Amino acid sequence: MTVTIDLPPGAQARLERTARARGVDVAGCARQIIEAGLATGPHQALADLVQAWREEDMMADRAERNAREAEWQELKSNLNANRAAAGERVLFP
C-alpha cells in the first residue's frame, strides 16, 4: 500500500535524520516508525477480548439479555445464601 503524507518541515528533517541514523531510506524509516506505533501492546489481547464481548452483547436479543440477567441474579443469590449459611458476610447486599 502506498500512502502520501505531508509533513511539516521540522518533522521531515527529524525523519531524515532518524533515517540516516538507522541507515535506512526515509520511506523505510517511516514504515518502521509507523509499524512500531501500531504494534500491539501487552494488554492488546485483553482489550480485543473485551471489545468482542461488547460486540457480542450488542448482538444479543432481549430474551437472551434477560436470561443472562436472571442467571446473574440467581448466582448472586446463591453466593449470598452460601455465605450467610457459613456465618460470613454476604457479597451482594
Number of continuous H segments (helices) and E segments (strands) in the chain: 4, 0
The pLDDT assigned to 6 comes to: 94
Helix/strand/coil (H/E/C) assignment for every residue in the chain:
CCCCCCCCHHHHHHHHHHHHHHCCCHHHHHHHHHHHHHCCCCCHHHHHHHHHHHHHHHHCCHHHHHHHHHHHHHHHHHHHHHHHHCCCCCCCC
Show pLDDT as tens, one digit a residue, over the chain (93 residues).
888 999 999 999 999 999 999 999 999 999 999 888 887 777 888 888 898 888 888 877 888 889 989 999 999 999 999 999 999 999 999
The pLDDT assigned to 42 comes to: 76
DSSP state of 86: T
The pLDDT assigned to 79 comes to: 98
The pLDDT assigned to 57 comes to: 80
